[in-house]
Structure 1
Amino acid sequence: MMIRKSLLALAALAAAGAAHAATYSFTGSFDTDPATSVLTGTFSFDDVVVAAGGSDGSFDLTSLTISFQGQTYTLAQATDPYVQFDGGQLTGPNALFTTPSGGELALQSFWGSSGFTYFVNSTSHIGTLNISAVPEPEGWALMLGGLGAVALIARRRKA
């Protein structure tokens, strides 16, 4: 009986503390030199809102951080930031930034792919973004707690 109460309490605690933000990281490289990673960052959005919206279309970003050419850009500096879904699949983030050199850095997602453009001195440089999910700490904690509970039950049954 005590184990059941402990397991229920652990499950309730994990559910109450679970975040609703889906977090992703990305790296980008220019198409002319794909071996050189020139852009890195993370973005997140409220996955509950996306699920309620049918997982297709544009949804607000809840966070965005980019490192590019020694500068860091954040969601607060972005013009028109959002995340794009096409056919229920995450395409990527969209946002526009003005760089200190007077150029423009644009994250763009459309037609099932995600990329970026850096426009400076009347020249456009095009790159591709590679996006990957970031595991949430709550998910890991819940999984480890579940494995511990299974081990505890198996040990008690053996005795």
Structure 2
Amino acid sequence: MGRRVFEWDQVKAFMVCRLVALDKCLSVHPIGIGEAIRRPLGKTVMKETREELQEACGADQLCSGLMGGLEGGIHAVRELWETLTQEAGDDPEKAFKTLLIDAENAFNAANRTAGLWNARILWPRASTFLFNCYRGDAELFLRGTHRITTIGSREG
């Protein structure tokens, strides 16, 4: 899937998702469960093009290529916080007080067409695979009902 462009009709069954409800305390979020083969294929592409991905993302993307992603950044700041708190002792002027994290789900807010175009320029070795996977609208199924994604993108 990474060497040539396929017709969407040949790929769309590969991108189908079954929707399930995920209880997030105060609300319920729909989560798409895709075909199992998608994950190892995506990981293979990322592993083979890792350096190119990290170079393209640079400092703009905390999670690019990191095992812990955003969590790793949070743990690093927490350790810094503890160190600074110990060094400050009882001096309120030196105290380290607040960590505010805004981890919006960029996949849902992203413009898919712009993302594919940027991948073609910045991450060319993976761009054909990404184009084959994300150029069309995925079909979503929930208890016999059928929907299609039309905006944003899909993780995974």
- After TM superposition, the score normalised by the length of structure 2 is 0.22
Larger helix percent: 2
- Asked which structure has the greater CA Rg, the reply is 1
TM-score, normalization by structure 1: 0.22
Higher relative contact order (CA 8 A, sep 6+): 2
Identify, as 1 or 2, the structure richer in strand: 1
